[in-house]
């Protein structure tokens, strides 16, 4: 079964509102990455988190890695129409040494103007 779970699957947001998407792993991760896929496009790397408790920001996006390195979150403030897309988290298991990632099912974000 899927080792990396992501919730919610869908997120409808009013423009200007904030929202958070969550990622949980059944096993400890060596690192976690986040990707964004625009409608009709392919996944594009956003950020990687490596350290326990790490927080990184990219403009209105805040990424967090849990203390136990088993969960992560992406928080978007003041959502804009350009944030539309599907956001995937992808974890690298500590047991994997080939750069293999376990992707979550993604959170599809729809923004209402």
Partner 1 sequence: DVKVTQSSRYLVKRTGEKVFLECVQDMDHENMFWYRQDPGLGLRLIYFSYDVKMKEKGDIPEGYSVSREKKERFSLILESASTNQTSMYLCASSLLGAGSSGVDSTDTQYFGPGTRLTVL
Task: Summarize as ranges the residues that interact with partner 1 (CB under 8 A).
Answer: 2, 6, 9, 30-31, 33, 35, 41-45, 48, 50, 88, 90, 92, 96-106
User: Are the beta carbons of 65 and 48 closer than 8 angstroms?
Assistant: no
Q: Report the residue number, 45 or 57, with the smaller CB distance to partner 1.
A: 45
State the nearest-atom distance from the C-beta of 14 to partner 1, in Å: 24
User: Are the beta carbons of 58 and 70 closer than 8 angstroms?
Assistant: no
State the nearest-atom distance from the C-beta of 16 to partner 1, in Å: 28
State the nearest-atom distance from the C-beta of 9 to partner 1, in Å: 7
State the nearest-atom distance from the C-beta of 96 to partner 1, in Å: 8
Distances (CA, A) of 25 to 16, 40, 50, 82, 85: 30, 28, 14, 28, 22
Q: Report the residue number, 14 or 100, with the smaller CB distance to partner 1.
A: 100
Phi first, then psi: give them for residue 83, nearest 5 degrees.
-85, -5
Q: Report the residue number, 14 or 26, with the smaller CB distance to partner 1.
A: 26
Residues 6+ apart with CB under 8 A from 40: none
């Amino acid at each position: 079964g899927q080792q990396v779970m992501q919730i919610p699957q869908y997120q409808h947001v009013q423009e200007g509102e904030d929202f958070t998407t969550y990622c949980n792993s059944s096993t400890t991760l060596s690192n976690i990455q986040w990707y964004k896929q625009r409608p009709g496009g392919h996944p594009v790397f956003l950020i990687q988190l490596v350290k326990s408790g790490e927080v990184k920001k990219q403009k209105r996006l805040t990424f967090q890695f849990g203390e136990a390195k088993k969960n992560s979150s992406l928080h978007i403030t003041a959502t804009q129409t350009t944030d539309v897309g599907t956001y995937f988290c992808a974890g690298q298991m500590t047991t994997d040494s080939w750069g293999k990632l376990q992707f979550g099912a993604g959170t599809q974000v729809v923004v209402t103007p």
